[in-house]
A and B are shown apart, each in its own frame.
Chain A
Amino acid sequence: SQTIHQWPATLVQPVGSPLSLECTVEGTSNPNLYWYRQAAGRGLQLLFYSVGIGQISSEVPQNLSASRPQDRQFILSSKKLLLSDSGFYLCAWNSEQGTLAASPLHFGNGTRLTVT
């Protein structure tokens, strides 16, 4: 069966420090991978998505970047964190079986980032 792992679960970082969040998927190949951010009391904002190794699409200009060094690994990074980067970060995957748009997303358990 497929599983998705995200770490760390919680993170407290000072303003101006770097960030690296990692997500890995097991049990599937060539998944589409996504990073979402969920601010307190708000919905999900798509940050990045990737359809293959080295292929990253950015949805929102911001202080963050993403990379996909391996097929099932997706990394979210920042060189210098801002207070506004605080939030709950979720990694997700789906795969194109038939119609991609009909394929549900499978989410990790998230990383709660607090920038102080």
Chain B
Amino acid sequence: AQSVTQLGSHVSVSEGALVLLRCNYSSSVPPYLFWYVQYPNQGLQLLLKYTTGATLVKGINGFEAEFKKSETSFHLTKPSAHMSDAAEYFCAVSSWGDKVIFGPGTSLSVIP
């Protein structure tokens, strides 16, 4: 069975600082990995996804994530946080024959 953990239900960073949101997954078959962002009272929006190929994936709004199979991780980073990055972030995993599983989410606050 697949599972996703996100270390830290709440992360605070200063504006301009590095953003690092952690995601670890469990899957018995090659996974497909996703990061979604949710702004208040809105649905989720895809930030980026990893399917196959290059392990460093670039997404929208300056975010990127690296798939590390040996660490079963897919951490999300952004070099410099903006106030507009304050939102809830969800990591998700799926694989062939299985439905997508979402992590519990990490709430990101950006301090001016």
Contacts and interface: CB of A to CB of B under 8 A. Distances in A.
A107 B90 CA distance: 13
Contacts of B32: 99, 101-102
B46 A104 contact: yes
B96 A101 contact: yes
Contact of B43 (A42, A43, A101, A109): A109
A105 B44 contact: yes
Interface residues of B, number: 23
B41 A112 contact: yes
A44 B94 contact: no
Contacts of B104: 42-43
Contacts of B34: 104
B82 interface: no
Contact of B102 (A43, A49, A102): A43
Given A43-B103, A108-B43, A112-B41, A101 B90 contact: no
B42 interface: yes
Interface string B74-112: 000000000000000010001111111011110000000
A110 interface: yes
Interface string A35-47: 0000000111010
Contacts of A106: 46
B80 to A, nearest CB: 26
Contacts of B43: 6, 90, 92, 107-110
Contacts of A90: 43-44
B72 interface: no
A110 to B, nearest CB: 5
A99 B30 CA distance: 13
B94 A101 contact: yes
B44 A109 contact: no
Interface of B: 32, 34, 36, 41-46, 49, 51, 90, 94-100, 102-105
